[in-house]
Structure 1
Amino acid sequence: MNLFFKGKRISSLLTVVPAREQSFVEDMKRFDFPEARSRKLMQVMGYDKHRLVDADTCVSDLAVFGLEQLFARKVIARDEIDALVLVTQTPDYLMPPTSSIVQGRLGLKQDMFCMDINQGCAGFVVGLIQAFMLLEQPNIRRVALVNADVMSRRTSPRDRNSYPLVGDAASIAIVESAAPDRVVHANLKMDGTRHAALMIPAGGMRMPCSPATAELRDEGDHNFRALDHLKMEGSEVFTFVQTEVPPMITALMNQAETTIDEIDWFLFHQPNRFMLQKLADKIGIPYGKLPMNVVEKYGNSSGVTIPMATVENLREVLTQHEALVCLAGFGVGLTWGSMLMRLGPLDVCEMVQYS
């Protein structure tokens, strides 16, 4: 599906990371796996450190903390938020929506729109699409788009395929109307027939959590996880990304009548450095235009890795200048989407630490 928007922009971008930092060397102690092979995996995939929340920290905690930072800096006032879109796959509760919890904790006005979107790796792109559509309403002038996940709480520490990768984080993007010459091209695709490639089997109505679903099992090669934990079919996800993402980016550029040379930055979801390098090679993107350093510093925080890559690498550039950027998210669902837009100058482009 091709999408087109006019007169929309991101005015501020803030990311929130937990203070707790854990190294891959620490993770290795939990794995029933030769240390030499783990260290080789560390080099190839780009593992090093990741940021993890404490056992009682939830998505709403990160979201409230980040929005309070923006209020304190007078980037936006509480009564200026007309809509709150919260994208997460680790909500505080099954019900009510986490966006309602954030609205209540912050004392935001009642005359506003709140909604949760259950999305993962493509969540930031999907959330922007929803925010842009909301801005078509005359009474919605500013949207706070929150993308947050605490996936470490649903990942087995003894699953070396997933645990070293995951990181917890949140992002807040203030999205608002802009001059009509600001155009945004986007596309989005879904394939639910492959949903089992990335999922948490237990915890919903199909398979409620129970003592049986919490039992750790050897899933092969001494890799332990429970049905309550994140399950990722690594080879299937890799094939999906390498097969579906390049034609998506090509289609987006054709739709916008632009080229790789004309795009300043490719800000992609950060699964790991190895996968991003292969993706860049296949599309023909110079490595210098595609940041790949988020997982090694903070971990894979799902859709939040797109704003993480932005603030980590471009904060000085985007507070001073405008850039043509291509965003892309791909993963759970399976869902893949991309967006071409002008980003900057931003009022805020920062990372803050939650403790």
Structure 2
Amino acid sequence: MNLTFKHKKITGILTVLPKNEVKFEDEMSNYHFSESKALKLKVTMGYNKHHIVEDGVTVSDLCTFGLEYLFNQQLLAKDDIDALVLVTQSPDYFMPPTSSVIQGRAGLKQDIICMDINQGCSGYIIGLIQSFLLLDQPAINKVALLNADILSRKVSKKDHNSNPLIGDAASITIVEKSDSDETIHCNIKMDGTRYDALIIPAGGFRQPSTPETAIMEEDIDGNLRSKDNLVMKGDAVFNFMQTEVPPMVEEILQTAGVTKDEIDYYMFHQPNRFMLNKLADRLEVPREKMPSNVVGDFGNASGVSIPTAITYNLGDKLLTNRYKTCLAGFGVGLTWGSMVVELDRLKFSSIIYF
């Protein structure tokens, strides 16, 4: 599905990362590997360290902390926020919506729309699409898009497929109406027949958590996990990415009427460095235009890896410069989406630590 938007712009991006940093070597003994094999895995996949929340920290903690930072720095005014969109797969509660919790904790006005969106790897793209749709309403001039996940809580520490790469993070992206005629091009695709390629089997209403679902079992690759833990079918996800993502990117560039060379940066979701480098090569895009350093330095925090890639690699440059970017997310769902959008002299672009 192709979508277009006009008179919308991104005016600020903030990433919130936990201070707690865990190095790959600190957890290496958890895996059924020799030290030499573990270190080879580290080099191949780009594992180095990941940032993990402390016990008791939730999505609303990270998001509220980020909002209060923006208020205190006078980069955002509370009463200017007309809608709050939270994209997460790790809510504080089943109910109420975590966006409502954040609205209350941040002291935002009551004349506001708050909504939660349950999405993962493509969540940032879907959150931007929803934010743009909200801005079509006359009463809405500014949307705070929050993307946050703390999936480290749902990963087995003895799962070498997932544990070394999963990180926790939150981002706040401010989206506003604009006088610019610049068109934002988006596309989004979904295939629920492959929903089990990335899944936490237990914990929902289909299979509630019980003492039995917490029992650790070993798979054929030597990973130990329970039904309460994240399961990632690595081969299926890699094949999906190599098969579905390149045509999607080719399509969005063609629709937007731009060549690959005209894109300054490809800021994509980062499952791991190996997969992202393979994707850059498949698209014949220079690797330096598609940064792959977030997952190795901070961890893969699902859709938050996209705004983290932007703030980490561009940072203050975005305060004075303009870049034509292609954004893309792909994974859990299975869902994949992309966007061609100008990032032009933002009010803020930075990383803070909780």
Task: State the shift of 1:327 in Å.
Answer: 0.2
Q: Tell me which residue corresponds to 2:39.
A: 39
Give the secondary structure class of the aligned counterpart of 2:349.
Answer: strand
Over 4 Å off, 4+ runs: none
- Distance, in Å, in 1 between the alignment partners of 2:281 and 2:321 is 28
Q: Deviations over 1:222-264 (max 9, x none)?
A: 2100100000000000000000000000000110111011111
Q: Residues 110-259 of structure 1 correspond to what in structure 2 (within 5 A)? A: 110-259=110-259
Q: Tell me which residue corresponds to 1:52.
A: 52
The size of the alignment, in residue pairs, is 354
Q: Tell me which residue corresponds to 2:107.
A: 107
The residue identity in structure 2 corresponding to 1:130 is Q
Give the secondary structure class of the aligned counterpart of 1:11.
Answer: strand
Give the secondary structure class of the aligned counterpart of 2:170.
Answer: strand
The residue identity in structure 2 corresponding to 1:202 is A
Give the secondary structure class of the aligned counterpart of 2:158.
Answer: coil
- Distance, in Å, in 2 between the alignment partners of 1:233 and 1:136 is 39
Q: Tell me which residue corresponds to 2:312.
A: 312
Are 2:340 and 1:350 aligned? no
Q: Is the 8 A contact 1:18 1:168 kept in 2?
A: yes
Give the secondary structure class of the aligned counterpart of 1:213.
Answer: coil
Task: State the shift of 1:16 in Å.
Answer: 0.3
Q: Is the 8 A contact 2:151 2:168 kept in 1?
A: yes
Task: State the shift of 1:77 in Å.
Answer: 1.0
Q: Is the 8 A contact 1:10 1:174 kept in 2?
A: yes
- Distance, in Å, in 1 between the alignment partners of 2:91 and 2:258 is 38
**Unaligned stretches of 5+ residues in structure 1:** none
Q: Deviations over 1:22-42 (max 9, x none)?
A: 000011121222121111010
The residue identity in structure 1 corresponding to 2:349 is C
- Distance, in Å, in 2 between the alignment partners of 1:253 and 1:350 is 28
Q: Deviations over 1:185-228 (max 9, x none)?
A: 00000000000000100110000011111111112232100100
**Unaligned stretches of 5+ residues in structure 2:** none
Task: State the shift of 1:119 in Å.
Answer: 0.2
Q: Tell me which residue corresponds to 1:260.
A: 260
Task: State the shift of 1:180 in Å.
Answer: 3.4
Q: Tell me which residue corresponds to 2:86.
A: 86
- Distance, in Å, in 1 between the alignment partners of 2:214 and 2:265 is 42
Give the secondary structure class of the aligned counterpart of 1:131.
Answer: helix
TM-score by length of 1: 0.99
- Distance, in Å, in 1 between the alignment partners of 2:284 and 2:152 is 33
User: For structure 1, which segment, 235-244 or 217-226, has the greater mean C-alpha deviation from structure 2 after superposition?
Assistant: 217-226
Task: State the shift of 1:344 in Å.
Answer: 2.1
Q: Tell me which residue corresponds to 2:16.
A: 16
Are 2:331 and 1:331 aligned? yes
Q: Tell me which residue corresponds to 2:74.
A: 74
- Distance, in Å, in 1 between the alignment partners of 2:220 and 2:80 is 52
Give the secondary structure class of the aligned counterpart of 2:16.
Answer: strand
Give the secondary structure class of the aligned counterpart of 1:292.
Answer: coil
Q: Is the 8 A contact 1:59 1:148 kept in 2?
A: yes
- Distance, in Å, in 2 between the alignment partners of 1:220 and 1:61 is 38
- Distance, in Å, in 2 between the alignment partners of 1:226 and 1:33 is 20
The residue identity in structure 1 corresponding to 2:324 is L
Q: Deviations over 1:288-328 (max 9, x none)?
A: 11111001100000000000000100013211111100000
The residue identity in structure 1 corresponding to 2:145 is L
Q: Is the 8 A contact 1:9 1:182 kept in 2?
A: no
- Distance, in Å, in 2 between the alignment partners of 1:323 and 1:222 is 44
The residue identity in structure 2 corresponding to 1:314 is L
Give the secondary structure class of the aligned counterpart of 2:148.
Answer: strand
Task: State the shift of 1:106 in Å.
Answer: 1.1
Identical positions, percent? 55
The residue identity in structure 1 corresponding to 2:80 is E
Q: Is the 8 A contact 1:55 1:153 kept in 2?
A: no
